[in-house]
Chain A
């Protein structure tokens, strides 16, 4: 049973009230957040208000929904009406949205109890959560290691049991990579499955919101709740593949699980072995493992960094100090005000990507970079389509290594970019991918693997993930932190 089902049972059987539950989470946050830095804004009062509503419903004998009264957290790039939403950037400090992101609209209407907003790399640009203007979030397995990024705060909070689940966003691995580093589950849905409305954009054609949870059941429940068609997002398609929860525990006998050699070569041995061991588990469950080549993968990183930075350079143009957020205190005229505001408000990594993106879109370079990257994006999409003619699911490592030691990623940005190699292809092709824990390295740090599916086949990959979770529960290890349910 996942955390969400457990809490739902506790509430409906009146083992505890929603207020008591919420208070115990708030208490644990207070105790451990100083060390973890998972939350950047704790919204205790609002959480208790919602809890009171849920308790009243329960007291009056009303039925409550599965997510009703369940505490949770949102990454700080999801717009929450009246609650500061900063993308962990100085430039958005003090910005309180006047509207809710669609995902928060959906969940708040179901009386989800939001404990607070969680830490992230500034504007979701980073792989360690350390580009956050609030400093990074620590890994619950070892606080000397990073939680990963960019949704590091959510992963840290869920891994440390100071949130049962959370929503993150994934542009090039930002849900799956921190989930992998923190030994938990992270689902990046098919592009279009979840509305992006209210998600503060990093790279619009790649961004997708998804759940970070302790178990596969939890991921499935949250995904089913948030994958709804939204008229406000032109790229929204809703849950074309239908409900996933009811399909968990389907037999996978005869399923074909593909492994691309390019995904395995070059990853660290401990990671490679853990993934190959998982393949053996699948074989024991009756699935067939097929190996294939995916040479187009070598284009994935440059394509990703060109497209993501190009879109980011445009998406982040609006932060000019005029309407909201940070504004420089001394300036001489509008132009100077905008220059100073942006120079002072953005961090190094964000500036680096804005400059890169501006460059690749510039006259004279557009064809050589952006246009070529778009063409190669088509090549990668085709390569995945071909691969899926011979298998139902692709199994791959989530990250070529385990969580970095604190400070390592910041010192070498290029090396850090390279660690996104296994996650970015899924975003480029718009496919769904789920990361689940599949072992530990010698130091006890978690290793993650991802299951990649065809478009809108979330049910297929979540079912396979669930099967593995059932077969190898030892890899879903708890940490010393937080609320024990």
Chain B
């Protein structure tokens, strides 16, 4: 029998607010243990939380960017559980009235992964185990999080990957999180079950907790899918449980301790007042959102004639698309700009994180100037290409490398002289060409181009050569 994978995600994303969700402490990553703390975030007796409105705003942005409906009234609840990294023995979260309801993330295959809701909550501290002792660092405690809870709409590991990537991309675009999985600013719990293909009824699910890379998610899901299928095939039953994924052994195993007690005794936090979000505020935030990557990608394809694959590359990170938009300002062919970026600049920004930062020595204005020289016919494509390399090496503008004489193009007489010179210096190639080897012309053309220092128009030179030796 064939089985279908069914998965839903709970994704925690740390919000990039300057201060924590309920106090004025910095949210900076790292630092001396317990140096980013105050009486409120270490839960000293008598302290009270004060909601950071910027965190609410960021969460609203996340809700709008995923097509959710922002609740007019939402409330904070206490999730009670006892663990040393949680200094109040409860996490302030939202259960009964979350901030954003519904919404979806659309995948490239056209499927929409529906979202159940997005809520805001505080992060916990971290346990550090050393020399047989356990220490607690509360620096991360109280950092604002959103939890994006999807419906069980994911049907394959590829979809899972794309879902996480899309979320990452959107959240980075709107600037509410850096979504760095390795630093824990984005973490996923995956609920996974299997069912015979073609059936509707959901199987019993397991939950794999706290995964910190997309590759691990894929591998853990693959393992867990097979484990569940094997279990069912061999007559067993999947037990609903929480699992931990071990990337060293590529296996999942049941978690103990923290998850033993499942009764969180949620109730409204009496220390915090109702969060009211006016419709005006929602519309103001909606209007302030940047164009989302999916919309931008579609526009590049439809309006600028950029091939789909290239449009995806240009919109993957917000910085790249902003660079592209600035560099294509007033140029005849945006595709040329795109080609320069993808063909040449990307070679200087090889890693994903380089692309995300997109710190390029050539400014978009400098690239724009170069492309405009090309547009006006003052220089040829190959000169532009080699100039861009020099610009990237030096950070200097195009005119540093192109002289007045370079911009004149070639007159007929010079072209004939150069072609003649090429023919004389490459007798063998001329013979080959005449003997039917079309390719031999390339050698002649190369000679002309080289001797013209790139000024010759390749097509015109080729025509002239053919005319002279044909």
Per-position binary interface string of chain A over residues 77-114, scored 1 when its CB falls under 8 Å from any chain B CB and 0 otherwise: 11100000101000010010111010000000000000
In the docked arrangement, what's the CA distance between A473 and B12, Å?
64
Beyond A79-B46, A232-B50, is A99–B39 a contact (Cβ under 8 Å)?
yes
**10 A-B pairs with least C-beta separation:** A317-B89, A205-B270, A361-B265, A204-B270, A200-B45, A198-B46, A79-B46, A200-B46, A363-B263, A99-B39
Per-position binary interface string of chain A over residues 292-305, scored 1 when its CB falls under 8 Å from any chain B CB and 0 otherwise: 00000000000000
The contact size tier of chain B is: 20 to 34
Per-position binary interface string of chain A over residues 175-206, scored 1 when its CB falls under 8 Å from any chain B CB and 0 otherwise: 00000000000000000000011111101110
User: In the complex, which residues 5-48 of chain B have their Cβ closer than 8 Å to any Cβ of chain A?
Assistant: 39, 42-48
In angstroms, how far is the closest chain A Cβ from the Cβ of B427? 88
Binds A, one of B79-87, B111-119, B170-178: B79-87
In angstroms, how far is the closest chain A Cβ from the Cβ of B77? 10
Beyond A98-B39, A234-B51, A317-B90, is A310–B46 a contact (Cβ under 8 Å)?
no
| Contact across chains for A95 and B271 when beta carbons are under 8 A apart | no
Binds B, one of A3-11, A155-163, A318-326, A417-425: A318-326
| Contact across chains for A318 and B267 when beta carbons are under 8 A apart | no
Which residues of chain B are within 8 angstroms of A335 by Cβ–Cβ distance?
257
In the docked arrangement, what's the CA distance between A233 and B48, Å?
6
In angstroms, how far is the closest chain A Cβ from the Cβ of B142? 14
User: In the complex, which residues 202-229 of chain A have their Cβ closer than 8 Å to any Cβ of chain B?
Assistant: 203-205
| Contact across chains for A204 and B89 when beta carbons are under 8 A apart | no
| Contact across chains for A334 and B44 when beta carbons are under 8 A apart | no
| Contact across chains for A196 and B48 when beta carbons are under 8 A apart | yes
Which residues of chain B are within 8 angstroms of A231 by Cβ–Cβ distance?
50
In the docked arrangement, what's the CA distance between A78 and B80, Å?
24
The 8 Å CB contact of B267, one of A77, A314, A320, is: A314
User: From DSSP, what is the main secondary structure of chain A's interface residues?
Assistant: loop
| Contact across chains for A311 and B87 when beta carbons are under 8 A apart | no
| Contact across chains for B267 and A310 when beta carbons are under 8 A apart | yes
Per-position binary interface string of chain B over residues 239-273, scored 1 when its CB falls under 8 Å from any chain A CB and 0 otherwise: 00000000000000000010000010111001111
In the docked arrangement, what's the CA distance between A458 and B61, Å?
43
The 8 Å CB contact of B134, one of A87, A101, A199, A334, is: A334
Q: B294 at the A/B interface (Cβ < 8 Å)? A: no
Which residues of chain A are within 8 angstroms of B267 by Cβ–Cβ distance?
310-311, 314, 361, 366, 370
Please indicate which of the listed interface residues B42, B44, B48, B49 has the most CB atoms of chain A within 10 Å of its own CB.
B48
| Contact across chains for A314 and B265 when beta carbons are under 8 A apart | yes
In the docked arrangement, what's the CA distance between A232 and B182, Å?
34
Please indicate which of the listed interface residues B51, B84, B265 has the most CB atoms of chain A within 10 Å of its own CB.
B265
The 8 Å CB contact of B82, one of A203, A324, A338, is: A338
| Contact across chains for B48 and A234 when beta carbons are under 8 A apart | yes
Which residues of chain B are within 8 angstroms of A127 by Cβ–Cβ distance?
none
Which residues of chain B are within 8 angstroms of A317 by Cβ–Cβ distance?
80, 82, 88-90
Beyond A314-B78, A318-B89, is A232–B48 a contact (Cβ under 8 Å)?
yes
In the docked arrangement, what's the CA distance between A334 and B134, Å?
9
In angstroms, how far is the closest chain B Cβ from the Cβ of A259? 31
User: In the complex, which residues 99-142 of chain B have their Cβ closer than 8 Å to any Cβ of chain A?
Assistant: 134, 136
In the docked arrangement, what's the CA distance between A231 and B52, Å?
12
Please indicate which of the listed interface residues B39, B45, B88, B272 has the most CB atoms of chain A within 10 Å of its own CB.
B45
In angstroms, how far is the closest chain B Cβ from the Cβ of A362? 6
Beyond A98-B39, A363-B263, is A311–B45 a contact (Cβ under 8 Å)?
no
Q: A455 at the A/B interface (Cβ < 8 Å)? A: no
| Contact across chains for B48 and A314 when beta carbons are under 8 A apart | no
Which residues of chain A are within 8 angstroms of B266 by Cβ–Cβ distance?
361
Chain B interface residues toward A at CB < 8 A: 39, 42-51, 78, 80, 82, 84, 87-90, 134, 136, 257, 263, 265-267, 270-273
Beyond A204-B270, A314-B80, A322-B136, is A97–B46 a contact (Cβ under 8 Å)?
yes
In angstroms, how far is the closest chain B Cβ from the Cβ of A470? 38
In angstroms, how far is the closest chain B Cβ from the Cβ of A81? 10
Q: A358 at the A/B interface (Cβ < 8 Å)? A: yes
The 8 Å CB contact of A320, one of B47, B89, B270, is: B89
The contact size tier of chain A is: 35 or more
In the docked arrangement, what's the CA distance between A468 and B263, Å?
52
**A233 and chain B: residue at smallest CB distance:** B48
The 8 Å CB contact of A314, one of B44, B89, B136, is: B89
Which residues of chain A are within 8 angstroms of B80 by Cβ–Cβ distance?
313-314, 317, 361
User: In the complex, which residues 345-367 of chain A have their Cβ closer than 8 Å to any Cβ of chain B?
Assistant: 358, 361-363, 366
Per-position binary interface string of chain A over residues 307-346, scored 1 when its CB falls under 8 Å from any chain B CB and 0 otherwise: 0001101100110101110000000001100100000000
**A362 and chain B: residue at smallest CB distance:** B263
In the docked arrangement, what's the CA distance between A205 and B84, Å?
26
| Contact across chains for A197 and B87 when beta carbons are under 8 A apart | no
Please, could you name 20 A-B residue pairs with CB atoms under 8 Å apart, sorted by A?
Answer: A99-B44, A99-B47, A196-B48, A200-B45, A204-B270, A234-B48, A234-B51, A234-B273, A311-B267, A317-B88, A318-B43, A318-B89, A320-B84, A320-B89, A323-B42, A334-B134, A361-B265, A363-B263, A363-B265, A370-B267
Q: A97-B39, A204-B270, A314-B90 are in contact. List 11 more A-B contacts (CB 8 A).
A: A79-B45, A85-B45, A98-B44, A99-B47, A234-B51, A311-B267, A314-B78, A317-B82, A318-B89, A363-B263, A366-B265
The 8 Å CB contact of B44, one of A310, A322, A324, is: A324
In angstroms, how far is the closest chain A Cβ from the Cβ of B24? 10
In angstroms, how far is the closest chain B Cβ from the Cβ of A191? 10
